[in-house]
Each structure stands twice: as structure tokens, then as C-alpha cells.
A and B are shown apart, each in its own frame.
Chain A
């Protein structure tokens, strides 16, 4: 005890003396330049903090596209790329230091809501009318999403359905099964074909090593939401009779779905590894699975890999399978749950400059530069007059020039992954496949309200996790199908009922 006391004394004496020495203020000078001349001409520094994904951001802020922007708008664009896994941590730490970056992309709706309440973002509503291109990238309800009435704190990021079910066309041909049309493609048909893929050796290697479809046991909706849609289960939540209903309480739908899935597991139609799978990329490229959940670009990449192993292998697009009561869907994200925000500390002049920049950014001219890059650096015209990637971009990787477009802000065109040099058939098919996926919307009705539920924020993930566990156990044949009812009761009584109540309160309040 004595030594603890003396330690505390030593520490506090030194602490006091240090605090005394350093507390003489030191404030960042902020934007320098005492020039009071033409305000439009003043160079403005803009800090952006953006989450980076696989491959990371650009190595420095001298990228040709950034240089182009700097010159065009007389700004000094400073982008901080933070790996997505650590983004929230770093953002919180920076927030604690009292000065947010000027522009932030908020990928987490719950943090967005929390910080809107704290009033740290700039209200864009009074200024938007001046910037028509920017205003047109989203519908009014998408601008309003997650915002208080009459205020808009973030620019909504456009999101669209892309994924659907794909099938190995070469396998179908081998087994003499015609490609099912949208009307024919029922969930029973899906199972019948999947079973044939499992038992009739579609890759012709004489081994019983293929299966119908795979799944990601650790991800929401198993990474294959079309199956949930076919059984009428909600994509999280659905609206019915003016009420929002969570998927967890849909007892009958669950039983039908689980019967289907557990049979698939037992018969080897469902990948036996589905619980430990973390991604589909390798599964599909290995050529052992017949149905896939992917989007067009993913399918093209997979086909390329597949064909090095077995020539002729080809994944082609299908409609989502149709359930017995006609329900079907491709998971459709809600545009505007991800926002780009401006810090409230941004002064008027800087705010105008940023909004001018963004207004140009989403215009056709800006899109051209931000998506395709700079001519003669990222792409060039070849002798026949068509565009092609330069060697440098090829070495860096196609798409690496579009980071500002795809990771920061983009407009609502469905061409975000087609470039000037893209094969025209490819580009057309890509756009078509996005249009197709949009035909069967399958939305989470709670996206705007779920984060208003305090119980959900505190207990939601733990509740869903233990519910999810029962689902997996039933599929893997460890528990009978009826045990889902027990899981439903547990989910409801441990906080689920409260979540339903709170989410519906937010829902009705907003109507």
C-alpha cells in the first residue's frame, strides 16, 4: 500500500509539471495564405478520409486524376485511405482530436445516425439546389434517408442489385438439361438440376466430387439470398399491412426453407463446407459447383479462371428461382445508407468549392475522368481508333484508376465498372445484367429505421447470432426442423419483441 501511495505521488507531481509546461496553447494555423485578393483564386486544401478495400488506396496524392482535380478547381486534395477494417477506429480517434476531415465517406449507417445527432456534419439542404448534377444522383427519398426532417447531412451513395443466380451452362449441356426460362425456373427445378449436378458427374471425371450449390454459413443470408427470397423470407425485414416484420419470426417460411436446405445438405447438393466458407471466389473457380451467386463481372472473371482448367466451362445468368407462391428476388441494397458527408467546420468558401467539385464529379465530364482516368496515361487510342489500356494501367490492374469513382462518390449510372476501352458486348451485357437483377427487387424494409432501435444496437447482433446458430444446426442435421420455433421464441423474448416495437415506432413516426 505504501509503495502504491508513493508511486501515485511521484506520478502526479510529474504529471502536473508536464501538464503545466505544455498547456500553453498551440493551435493549428488552418488554411494559410493571408492573401485577401480574389477569393475564387485562393487555393483550398481539402482533406478526405476514405475507407480502402483490397489492394489499398493510391500510393500518394500525386495521382494524375488528383492532379487534374487540383488544377481544375484550384484545390489541394489530400486523401487518407484507411483500410476498411480499421476505418471506424481511426475515425473515432480523429473525431476525439476535435477536427474532422473536411470530407468523410461514412460506410456505417449507425455511426452516421449517431453523429448526425451530435451535429457534427454540415447541412447540405440549403445549398443543393445550386448543384443540379449532384442533386440528380439520387431520388428525394434517398437524400432524405437517415436524416432528420428538412435537413440533409450526407450525399447518398447509389447502390443497385447486381447479384443473381448463375449456372454452369456446359454442365447443363452435358446432362441434356435445357437452360430454364424465367417462368420454368422454380425452386423445385433449381433443386432438381442441383441434384443432377451432384449425382450425374457433370464434369465427367468419374468422381463423385461435384455439388449443386455452395453457401457462406457466416454471412447474412448465406451469400445466396435468392433462396431466402424464394421461400418468402424477408431480406432482414419486410413491410406487411403497415407493419415491419423481421425474418426471424416467420416460422412457416423458415420451416419450408430449412426443410429444403437440410435435405440439400444431407444429399450432398449443398456444399459440405458451407459453414467454414468465407468467400465464393475459389469455390467457383475450382469447378466443382453448378449454381453460383455472383454478378456479371465476377462471372466473367470466374469463367476466365475456369477455362484454364476445363475449356468450355461457362457460368451464365439466370433469373432468381421462383417459390411456390411466386415469390422471388435478387437482393437489392437501399441506395443512400452509405453517405459522403462534409464536416460542419468547413467554411462557406470551402463548402462551395467542395460542392462545385462534386457537382462536376458526377457530371458526364467528371465521370469520364474519375472512372476512366486520364487519356494517354491510363488509356490511349490505338491505330484503329479504339481505346485501350496503357501498359502501366494493365500492370497496376484494371479498375485501379477508378478508386475515386467507386470508393468515394459516384452517380447513379449502372456503368460503374465499364470503361472506355471495355469490350462493347461486355459493356452491354454488364448493363443488361444489372437491369435484369433490378426486375426482382428484394429489399430490407428496415434500412431507414433499424438503427433507431436502441435494443437492436445493444443486443441485435448477439440475438441474431444465436438465432443463426440454430438455423445452421438444423441445416447440418444436428437439430430437428421444429427447433426453429424454440429459437424464434428465444429471439423474441430476449429482446426481439422490443426491437420489433422500437423499429415500428420509428416506422410509423416517419410516415
Chain B
């Protein structure tokens, strides 16, 4: 046995259980991707169902709503990348600057808590406050003669309501990973720069942010893998007939046309389409990151 294998053997051994997990629970089931290309019937199984090739993809691209779905999906994701993605980083940076330990723990716990409030409740509270007639805030506005703010029904607000609720629920939670990354920054760097007379702002810029760079890049690349994905439940709860032109996305579409009728081939085809777009986007962003001297995800 040569030196490499002697050294590598324990490492492969560490990877082995995880490797087996991926094979058994992730790769064997990949056979299921073929459901997108057959007229799948659970009783005939994958091998017994009729091969239809790209039929379901053609059906998807021919949907009258296809472009609307694509546009809504991409716009919401874009908003999310631009506004939601930096929010947890900002929270982490702010918390990192707090020296009072109790205050820090308290604020962090409060910001983390909304993650455990389900969408049903969050949307419910928003409606309670902003329902056109009975909403608490709308009644106040009405008393001031400002008329109702049709936050839940006017389509122009939909995306922003969705985004703000995302930030409200997820910013504190998302900060955790960046706080963990901050903990790996060598504290002697700060000491040295303080001695050099650098102020706090410069320290954030020259030490803290570079220390986070790795994680930010990875999270950013991975985010693009889900550029076509949106949480179903949140959007579904916010959806109503008035805002459907801006709120219908692939998830809600598939729920209404495919899942209820057990049309698995179609849902699988839509899922596969989304994954392929995600893969292309990640590949592209990953290359960009590597070209800029960063470590990519693969």
C-alpha cells in the first residue's frame, strides 16, 4: 500500500457512511426522474408506463400562463436575492458589533423567534391588520380619512408584502450561519488593527467582511440553485383572485393542475425543468466566482 492510500484510507472511511446515504436515499431514487418522460401510472410502475418523451415539457411550454409563471417566479426570486439575501448578513454584522453580552443574546433570540411562527399565522396576522374593511391599521387610516390601504388585494403590493414577511421571518434565523463564520475569524487581527488606530467601521470593512467572504460566496452560489423555487405555502396563503396575475408561480400552478389529480408525470416534469434551470444558473455563478478567485461549490 503506497503512502497516499495509507493516508487517505481513514478519510475515505469517514466519508463512507455519508456516501452510502447518498447512494441509497438520493441516487437510487433518481430513477424517479424518468417519471417526467412517461405517462406514469402508479400501478404500472416506471417500467410498465408508456414512454411519452418530451410530451409534458411541451405541454408546460405551451401553457397559456407559462410566461407569466416564469416572470413571476424569476421576479420574486430576484427580489429575494437582492433584498432578502443581504439581510441576515447585516444582522450578523450588527450583532457582531455588540459588546454587551446580555443585550446580544436577548436581541438575537428575539430575531430568531419568528422562524417558528408558521406562515398561516404570519399571513393571518397581516390580514388582521390590513384587511380592507376590518383590518386594525386600515380602520385607523380610515379614521384619519386616508382611505383603506388595500395591502392584501391590490396586486402592486403583493411582492413587497411577500418579501417583507420573508425578511421578518427569516433574517434573524439566517444570521446564524454568518455568526458561526464570524467566530472563525482570528481575534488577534482585531487587536492588531486597533493598535494601528483603525476605527470600528474600517475593521468591519477590512477584517469582518473578508472573514465572511467564503461563506457569503457559497451561500450566494447555492441560492442560485433555487432560482426557480419558491415556498409553496407562503405564496398560496397570500394568493387571492385579485393578485393572481402577479402571485401565480410554478408551485401554485402545479398544486392546482397536477397534484390534486395525481398527475405525477406533469409535476415531475415541471420540477425537472426548474432543477435544470437551477443547475445552469449555479454552474454560471460558480464559474464567475472561480474566475474572481473564490472557491466554488464544486
Name A's B-contacting residues (CB within 8 A).
11, 14-15, 18-19, 88-89, 91-93, 95-96, 98, 108, 110-111, 114-115, 118, 120, 211, 217-218, 271-273, 275-276, 288, 457-459, 461-462, 465-466, 468-469, 471-473, 476, 478, 494
Contact = CB atoms under 8 A, between A and B. Distances in A.
A273 B134 contact: yes
A269 B257 CA distance: 35
A95 B43 contact: yes
Contacts of B19: 14
A120 B127 CA distance: 45
Contacts of B264: 92
B133 A273 contact: yes
Contact of B241 (A15, A110, A465): A465
A472 to B, nearest CB: 4
Contacts of B45: 96, 98
Nearest to B40: A96
Interface string B22-47: 01100110000000000001111100
Interface string B56-95: 0001000111000000000000000000000000000000
29 contacts: A14-B19, A14-B23, A15-B23, A18-B24, A88-B262, A89-B259, A91-B262, A96-B42, A96-B45, A98-B43, A98-B45, A110-B261, A115-B43, A118-B41, A118-B43, A218-B239, A272-B134, A272-B148, A273-B131, A275-B241, A275-B242, A276-B127, A462-B63, A465-B241, A465-B244, A468-B241, A472-B240, A472-B241, A473-B241
A458 B133 CA distance: 36
Given A218-B241, A461-B257, A469-B245, 14 more contacts: A88-B260, A98-B43, A108-B261, A111-B262, A115-B43, A218-B240, A275-B132, A458-B59, A462-B65, A465-B241, A469-B241, A469-B244, A471-B241, A494-B64
Given A276-B127, A465-B244, A469-B245, A120 B260 contact: no
A462 B262 contact: no
A18 B153 CA distance: 54
B6 interface: no
Interface string B88-130: 0000000000000000000000000000000000000001000
B154 to A, nearest CB: 9
Contacts of B259: 88-89
Given A11-B23, A111-B262, A465-B241, A476 B28 contact: no
A61 B109 CA distance: 41
A276 B23 contact: no
Nearest to A473: B242
A92 B262 contact: yes
A412 B245 CA distance: 43
Given A88-B260, A114-B261, A272 B241 contact: no
Interface of B: 19, 23-24, 27-28, 41-45, 59, 63-65, 127, 131-135, 148, 152-153, 239-242, 244-245, 253, 256-257, 259-264
B28 A18 contact: yes
B76 to A, nearest CB: 19
Given A15-B28, A476-B153, A458 B257 contact: yes
A273 B131 CA distance: 6
B42 A108 contact: no
A14 B25 CA distance: 13
B153 A275 contact: yes
A205 to B, nearest CB: 14
Contact of A217 (B44, B148, B241): B241
B27 A15 contact: yes
Contacts of B148: 272
B115 to A, nearest CB: 22
A465 B256 contact: yes
Given A276-B152, A469-B241, A92 B261 contact: no
A434 B182 CA distance: 67
A277 to B, nearest CB: 8
Contacts of B240: 217-218, 275-276, 472
Task: Pick the 10 closest A-B CB pairs, nearest first.
Answer: A272-B133, A95-B42, A96-B42, A472-B241, A273-B131, A272-B132, A469-B241, A273-B133, A461-B256, A276-B152
Contacts of A469: 241-242, 244-245
B131 A276 contact: yes
A114 B258 CA distance: 13
A486 B107 CA distance: 54
B16 to A, nearest CB: 11
B31 to A, nearest CB: 10
A11 B30 CA distance: 11
A264 to B, nearest CB: 13
A51 to B, nearest CB: 13
B137 to A, nearest CB: 13
Task: Please indicate which of the listed interface residues A118, A211, A275 has the most CB atoms of chain B within 10 Å of its own CB.
Answer: A275
Nearest to A211: B133
Task: Please indicate which of the listed interface residues A93, A457, A461, A478 has the most CB atoms of chain B within 10 Å of its own CB.
Answer: A461
Contacts of B24: 18
Contacts of A471: 241
B49 to A, nearest CB: 11
A498 to B, nearest CB: 13
Nearest to A100: B43
A288 B131 CA distance: 15
Contacts of A95: 42-43
A342 to B, nearest CB: 15
B47 to A, nearest CB: 12
A6 to B, nearest CB: 13
A129 B74 CA distance: 59
Nearest to B28: A15
A271 B133 contact: yes
Given A14-B23, A15-B23, A114-B261, A276 B153 contact: yes
Contacts of A461: 256-257
B257 A114 contact: no
Nearest to B132: A272
Nearest to B134: A273
Contacts of B257: 458-459, 461-462
Nearest to A91: B262
Nearest to B31: A15
A459 B259 CA distance: 14
Nearest to A268: B133
A98 B135 CA distance: 51
A89 B260 CA distance: 8
Task: Please indicate which of the listed interface residues A276, A466, A473 has the most CB atoms of chain B within 10 Å of its own CB.
Answer: A276
B261 A457 contact: yes
Nearest to A288: B134
A475 B44 CA distance: 48
